[in-house]
Amino acid sequence: MVWSREALPTYLYSLRADVTGDGTDRRAIGVPISNLTDPHSIPAGLFRDPNFAHLSAVIFSNSATLAKFNRMGFLAGWRPPGLAMIRRDILVDRTPGALEPIDFNLAVDSAEYQALWPWGEAWCQELEVFHNPLATHPIPFDLIPGVTHWFERDGDIECSTIWANSVISSITHLQLDGKPAVTSKPRDRRQPPAPTSTE
């Protein structure tokens, strides 16, 4: 889902972000494109096509995952004895002109992690609404509060969010009583899947 998040705005608005300049002169500029870089030549610009004016917006989340459900339960107080959760993440750097994300690696129950979001980690936090500038019936921003809204203004794509810290991508590691972090490993495709319990 990480890569679909990066491709989605380009597909919808037919603008690719290119970096120009060096050092302190580096900046991102929107470059109009007609097709995604792909052997199948997928056309870009769904929101540029008047035939899709009935599509008011696209709602996306890259965090409708078990890790999100685990963290929310953990933060709500469901903490099995000896379980620690560590979230390794990259955040949007809101410094003017910043082009690189901010890395962090924090225990989910730490004061530093909880300080990232004064109201606590919320279910809507990673939801993003991409608004169609040609929509016949635009969706009001306040209809879905707490999400990040992407919209076109004067030919540029901008975002509006209430969150000072917005997650771009993350991995949540589970640790039990100081043992190494548990992460999912890709299954060996030569082996049959492990049996699952029906209980």
Digit-coded pLDDT (tens) for 33-87: 888 876 677 889 999 999 999 999 999 998 888 999 999 999 999 999 999 999 9
Percent of the chain with pLDDT over 90: 57
Give the H/E segment covering residue 170: strand 167-176
Q: 125 with 163: CB under 8 angstroms?
A: yes
pLDDT at 42: 83
Q: Closest Cα to residue 107, out of 65, 71, 81? A: 71
Q: What's the average model confidence in pLDDT over 93-107?
A: 90
Q: How far is residue 84's CA from residue 179's CA, in Å, rounded to a whole number?
A: 10
| Angle (CA) 88 92 93, round 5° | 115
Q: How far is CA 141 from the centre of its chain?
A: 18
Q: 26 with 20: CB under 8 angstroms?
A: yes
pTM for this prediction: 0.81
pLDDT at 178: 63
pLDDT at 152: 94
pLDDT tens digit string along 13-24? 999 889 998 877
